[in-house]
Amino acid sequence: MTALLLFAWRVHLHRSEYLWNEYPTALGDHDYYTKLSDNDFYNGALVLPDRGEGLFRRMEKPVSRQDERMIKVTRDASDRVFVYADPREPKRLFLKVADDRYIEFGERNAWPEYQPPKAIPVTPSL
């Protein structure tokens, strides 16, 4: 009885240590995607543990998806963020940007390869 009382008192004092609810969906996840590399459109920055090559960011603006519908697939190789999929479209992978907001990652989109601008020769004027 004494042990139970001590345990209850410890839980009461340190409640946050005992709140470890883990959901199979995106509810409660606060590991938001910010940026994985210098340019996620051109660098395959999202690396999954079972894939060798990286995945590319496929959209500019986040799309609206319900957190309770988005299913956790895995964590990225750097263990920074969860990767999610919509059960209606399981092949599309997303990273959470904010509550109910997601950015899609996948194979390289049709973004043209970046070419730095060439310098234009300047002719001196008299």
Give me the chain's average pLDDT, please: 83
User: What are the angstrom distances between the C-alpha of 122 and each of 16, 117, 118, 119, 125?
Assistant: 65, 15, 12, 9, 9
Residue of 34, 70, 29, 54 lying closest to 105 (CA atoms) = 54
The residue-averaged pLDDT of 31-45 equals 81
Residue 16 pLDDT greater than 70, yes or no: no
pLDDT at 97: 92
Instruction: Output 85-90 pairs: Cβ under 8 A, ≥24 positions apart.
Output: none
| E runs forming strands in the chain | 56-57, 63-64, 71-75, 82-86, 89-98, 101-106
The residue-averaged pLDDT of 41-67 equals 86
**What pLDDT, in 10s, does the model give residues 64-84?**
999 999 999 988 888 888 999
Q: Lowest mean pLDDT of 32-41, 52-61, 94-103, name the range.
A: 32-41
